[in-house]
Structure 1
Amino acid sequence: MKKILLGSTALVAAGLLAQPAFAADPIQLQVKGYYQNLVTYSDVSDAPAGTNYKDFQFRHEGEVHFMGKTKLDNGLTVGFDAQLEIVNVGLSGGQPRDMDETYMWLEGGFGKLQLGAENGAAYLLHVDAPSFGLGFDDRNFGPVVQTGGFSRPNIAGDTPKGTYFTPRIAGFQAGVSYSPNLDGQDLSGYGFGVISVPTGSVEDIYALGLNYTGKFGDFGLRASAGYETGDVVGGGQDPETWALGLSVAFGGFTVGGAYSDSENYNSGSVSPGADGNVYSLGLSYQTGPWGISGVYQNTDFDVAGVTTANSSDEYELAAMYQAGPGIQFRGGITYTDTDLGTVADTTTVFVGTFLSF
C-alpha cells in the first residue's frame, strides 16, 4: 500500500512537470464550520459506591474550518483544510490541542491525494446508522459514562498520513491510507529525519476502504467495507479492525446499520488482548423540515485477564426540526445499559441547537 501512495504521488508530480501548472486564480480562502450546544439532564443508576455524577449540564462543541482551493491550468485542483477547535479537545504532546484535522489535497482525473493530519480511508468511506439526534458512531457528545464503541476503523486517528482515493466509477470508490506511526501528531516543526518510536507503540498503519453510492428507481443505496491494521513496535499483538456498513433510503425513510470486528483494539485505542465487536441499527424518517429517528448499538469486548463483563447496549430516540439553512433544533432521550460493574447505567434527556456555516 505504501507503494500505491508513492506511485500516486509520482503520477501527480509527473502531471505537474508535463506542462505549465499555473493557477488561473490564487487560492481563495473560505471559512466554514459548525457549532453544537446542548442542555442535558441525566439520571445515573447503579453507580459505584463513592462515585458522584452531575445530573444537569450545558454541553457544547464546534469547529471553524479554514478551507481553500484553486484549479491549475493543467486541470489539477489544489486545496487545503485546517480545522480550529472552538472547544479545546485535550492534550497532544503535552500541549493544549486547538487544531483538529489539517491537511492539503490534490485532485484530478487520477482521483484525489490527501497529505496531512486527517482520518484514514476506512474511516472516511464508512457508512453507519442514520440519526437525527447525537448518534453513536461519529458523535461529538456521549452519555455521562462513555462505554460504547465505534464501528468506524480508526486505529491511526488523524495522525499525519497519506491517503489516495480513486475516482468514483459506477458508484464505487476505493481508498488507501498509510500512517508511519501513531506518535506523529506534533511533527509540524522544522526538524525532520529519524525519530524515536517508543516500544509498544504502533507504526506502519495501513487502511483500506471501499464505498458504494447508487440509486435504483426510488431506492437509494449506500454501502461500505473497511480494514485497518498496524505493527506494534518491539513485537506484540498487532491491532486490526474491519467494518461493514449499509444504508437504504426510500420515500423519506432511511434504514441502516454497521458492524465491526476488532482484535487488540478497543473503542478507538490500541488495547492488547482486547477482542470484540460493535454493531448498530437505525431507522429515520424525514418529511419537510421535520425528522425523527431511533438507533440501537451494542458493544461487546473481551479483555485478556479481565473476568468481568465489558459490554453495553445503547438506545436513542430523537427528533429534529430544520429552522433554516444551517440551523437545526434537536432533542431526544438516550439510555445506556452496561454490564461493567464499575460503570453506571445512564438515561439522558437532551435538547440543543446545531449550527453549520
Structure 2
Amino acid sequence: MKNILMMTVAVGALAFAAAPAMAQDGGVDLSIAGHMKGYVTWNDQDEAVGSEARSVDILRETEIHFTGETTLDNGLTVGFHTELEDDLGDGFATEESYAYFAGNWGRVNFGAEDGAAYLLQVAAPSADSNVDGIRQYISAFNADIAGVAAATEALDYDTAPTGASDKLTYITPNFNGFQAAVSYTPEVDAASRSLGVSADDEEGDLGTAYEAAVRYEGNFDAFRLAVGAGYAQVEVEEDAVAPANDDVQSWNLGANVGFGAFNIGAVYFDEENTGGVEDVNTDGFVVGVDYTTGPFVIGASYYNADDVHETAGLDAERYSGGVTYNYGPGMSFRGSVHHVQYDEAAGDDVDGTSLLLGTQINF
C-alpha cells in the first residue's frame, strides 16, 4: 500500500515534467486574496476559583493569501500558493506554502498543505461556519479560565492529523461527480527546511503518513447529494523506552442532502491514538441544517465528541444557531448563539453560552 501511494504521486509529478512548454503570458500572474473575520462577543461561562472571563470582547481571524499561477500552451497549470496569518498575536506567521500542477489528468500539490483526507472531506451545514464549521476559527469560550484541561483545542471535526506538514498529494479529475485523492508525508513532525534532511527514528515523533479520500457530488432532479470518506495513518517513531506510543489512525464519513432551499447533513469522525499516545482516542459526530432565503442563510448544528483532549476524559457538546446575511460579493454579516459544555472524567463539568455578532470580508 505504501509503495502504491508513493508511486502514484511520483507518476503524477513526472507527468507534467515530461513535456516542457512556454507560458502563454511569458510568466506567472500574481494575485493577492484573503479574509478578515471579526466579531464582538458576549460570553457567560463557568470559571475556576480566582479566574474571571471577560463578558464582552473582540475576536478576529485574518489571513493574507498570495497565489502565482500561469497556464502553459500545453494546457498545464502551474502555480504557487501561500497563506499568512495576519492578526497581531500571529506575527505574520506562515500557515501554508505549496506549489501545484494541474491538467486534465488531475492535480498535484507539493509542499506545506493539508492532505487528502481533509481536502475532500464533506462538511455539515452550520450556524456560522467560522464557529461551528469543519474547522473552528472563532470561539468565545475560554477553557483555561473555566478550569478544564489546559490548552483545550478548538471543537473541530476535520480529519487532518498531518496538518500543513510538507507532503505530496494527488487529486483525480472529477469523473461525473466522483473524485479521489492520496497523500504522502515523509515526516509530520518536521518543519519545512532547505538545508539537511530531517532526523529519523526520534522517540515519540510523528513520522511518515499516508492519506486517502473519496467524494461524490451530484444532482438528482430537485435533490442534491454530497457524500465522502477519508482516512489517514501517521506512523509513530518509537522504541522500547516509549511503549505507550502507537500509530495515529483517523477517519471520517460524511453526507449532505439538499432539497430546494434546505440542506441537512451529518459527519462522523474518529481518531485513535491522538498525538501518537496509545489508547487516547477521540470520536464524535456533528449534524447540521440550514435554510436559504434570498441573501439570508439560517442554520443550526449539534456537535458531540468524546475525549476531545489528549489527556483524555474530556467530553464536549455544542449547540449552535445563527443567521448569515450576504450583503455583497464575498461579504457577510453573521449573528449566532452557541452553548458548549465540557464534562471531565473527574466530574468537573463546565459550560458557557456566547452570542457572536460579526462580519467576514473576503478579498
Instruction: Give TM-score, length-normalised by structure 1.
Output: 0.89
Return the offset for 1:238.
Answer: 1.2
8 A Cα contact 1:67 1:79, kept in partner: yes
- The aligned counterpart of 2:237 is 233
Does residue 120 of structure 2 align to residue 120 of structure 1? Answer: no
Q: Distance in 2 between matches of 1:20 and 1:123?
A: 32
Q: Distance in 1 between matches of 2:64 and 2:349?
A: 34
- The aligned counterpart of 2:32 is 31
Write 1 or 2 for the structure with the bigger share of strand: 1
1:259 pairs with one of 268, 271, 282: 268
Task: Give the partner amino acid of 1:98.
Answer: A
2:178 pairs with one of 172, 176, 184: 172
143-152 or 126-135: bigger deviation: 143-152
8 A Cα contact 1:145 1:343, kept in partner: no
Q: How does 1:195-344 map to 2 (within 5 A)?
A: 195=199, 198-235=202-239, 236-265=245-274, 269-301=275-307, 309-340=313-344, 341=347, 344=350
Return the offset for 1:194.
Answer: 4.9
Task: Give the partner amino acid of 2:86.
Answer: I
* Superimposed CA distance per residue, residues 66-120 of structure 1 (whole angstroms, 9 cap, x where no aligned partner): 1121111222111111111112665xxxxx5611111110111221000010111
1:200 to 1:73, Cα distance in 2 relative to 1, 3 A: same
* Superimposed CA distance per residue, residues 12-48 of structure 1 (whole angstroms, 9 cap, x where no aligned partner): 434433x442211211011111111000010013x33
Return the offset for 1:8.
Answer: 3.6
Task: Give the partner amino acid of 1:345.
Answer: D
2:164 pairs with one of 152, 158, 182: 158
- The aligned counterpart of 1:93 is none
SS class of match (2:117) = helix
In structure 2, the gaps of 5 or more residues are 144-151, 240-244
Q: Distance in 1 between matches of 2:298 and 2:158?
A: 23
Return the offset for 1:270.
Answer: 4.2
- The aligned counterpart of 1:54 is 54
- The aligned counterpart of 1:108 is 103
8 A Cα contact 1:70 1:79, kept in partner: yes
Q: How does 1:1-40 map to 2 (within 5 A)?
A: 1=2, 3-17=4-18, 19-25=19-25, 26-40=27-41
Q: Distance in 2 between matches of 1:329 and 1:237?
A: 44
8 A Cα contact 1:67 1:80, kept in partner: yes
Task: Give the partner amino acid of 2:267.
Answer: A
195-204 or 246-255: bigger deviation: 195-204
RMSD: 2.2
1:143 to 1:304, Cα distance in 2 relative to 1, 3 A: closer
SS class of match (1:130) = coil
1:12 to 1:337, Cα distance in 2 relative to 1, 3 A: closer
Q: Distance in 1 between matches of 2:197 and 2:257?
A: 48
Aligned length: 343
Q: Distance in 1 between matches of 2:264 and 2:59?
A: 29
SS class of match (2:307) = strand
8 A Cα contact 2:308 2:314, kept in partner: yes
Task: Give the partner amino acid of 2:136.
Answer: R
After TM superposition, the runs of 4+ consecutive aligned structure 1 residues lying more than 6 A away are 302-306
SS class of match (2:118) = helix
1:88 to 1:5, Cα distance in 2 relative to 1, 3 A: farther
Return the offset for 1:132.
Answer: 4.1
Return the offset for 1:339.
Answer: 1.1
Return the offset for 1:181.
Answer: 1.4
1:88 to 1:225, Cα distance in 2 relative to 1, 3 A: farther
Return the offset for 1:273.
Answer: 2.2
Instruction: Give TM-score, length-normalised by structure 2.
Output: 0.88
